[in-house]
Each structure stands twice: as C-alpha cells, then as structure tokens.
Amino acid sequence: MTQAHRQFKDAIYEQLARIGKAVSAPKRLELLELLCQGPRTVEALACQAAISTANASQHLQILRAARLVDAEKHGLHVEYRLTDDRVSDFFLQLRKLAESQLVELQHVARQYLEERGALEPITGEELRRRIQRSEVVVLDVRPREEYQAGHIPGALSVPLAELKKRAHALPKSRDIVAYCRGPYCVMAVEAVELLRTKGFRAQRMEQGVIEWRARGWRVATGGEGSHA
C-alpha cells in the first residue's frame, strides 16, 4: 500500500471514529435518546438525565462536534435537537446491536422488569389492532413537550407526574396501555403499577415513538389525541 493510500484510509477511519468517541459515554447516550423524543433545552436535559447543567452542556458540545445534534438560542436558553432523523435510526441500531451481543444488558433489564411483573408488554402490532377495534385507552406518560413533538395517534397525554390525580377520569371498562420512551424507560412501568393499584386493567407497551416511527407507522404531532 502506498503512503498516499495509507494516509487516505487513516483519514477516513479518523472521521468515523468521531461518532464512536461521541457516543462512548453513558450519559451522552442518554442525552441522545432524550433528544430522539424531541428538542430540549440544556436545563431540561440536565434535569431528566440527573446531571448538572454544566455537565450536560459539556456532553452536548461533544455530540454537536460530531454533528449528531445541533443547537439554537431561544432567549436565555439554548435548545438542542437531532441534526437528522438518521441519528435516531443510528441510536436504535446501536441499541439493537447491544441487545443482540451483550448478555449483561439483557440480564439487567430482565431483573428490573421481573421484580415489577412487567415482563410481558403488549407489542406495537397488537396495540395497533386493538386501537383499530377501539378496545384500549392509550396513555402517553412522557412529559407533555415530548407528546407535542410526536406521539402515537389517538394517545392521551397524561404525564406520569399527573397520573395519580387524573386517574379518576380514565374508564375502568376498557384496558389501558401506557407507553413512554422505549424498552428501558421506566415511566410506563411506574404508570402501570399505579393504575393496577387503583383497579385498572393496565399494560405497558415496550416500544416508544421512535420505534413506532421506525416501523413506518404514522406519528401524530401537536395536540392531536387531546388530554384525559
């Protein structure tokens, strides 16, 4: 191999490695998943990822340097968003690869869900069929801004923090399915636990909006679906 060819290959892999380096920290992966749900300010991301604003800002700057996210100033706040839908696809594929190769990941997830009786979630396909037959009430228990950015058509926006005081408005004559950000989001697990203690027939859907969209199914935005 000539020196010119070697330099070319080294330069290519150096650029590819920028993506790998950007997602090499657990908290950066969590921030990326949060941004898959919709745009966020640095402060909101820091709160949801349980880190300081300064720490979140540093992580976001690394993701931005790798062109995975972009930022826009809104008054006193900086709002981040994914640069492209392909970043969301990349995150899903990365997670699927980890699920297929890392038995440790499967063990951690199974242990947590088994303790809460949450190992048998409803699938997206089954939920679609039951929605079409008007058999279920679907709850989006994510924060309302995530619901506004994109949600399953017909889902009601009932953020987990509001569920306890709003549960009385839900019908007990129909099954309830709660969903949040995907298989490792715990909000739907908590929602189902709460609803069952109040006598509701409740299940969680393991998938979230990004998985729903990846299947080519329609995602609604704005206020469609209303509130409970």
Query: What are the catalytic residues?
Result: 180
What does the alpha-carbon distance between residue 37 and residue 142 come to, in Å, rounded to a whole number?
9
- Sort strands 40-41 and 77-82 into parallel, antiparallel or unpaired: antiparallel
Alpha-carbon separation of residue 109 from 8, 44, 104 (angstroms):
42, 26, 9
Between CA 102 and CA 97 the distance in angstroms is: 8
Residue showing tokens 């027939």:
201
CA–CA dist 82, 221 (Å, integer): 17
Query: Residue type at 85?
Result: D
> Containing H/E element for 78?
strand 77-82
CA distance 192 to 137: 13
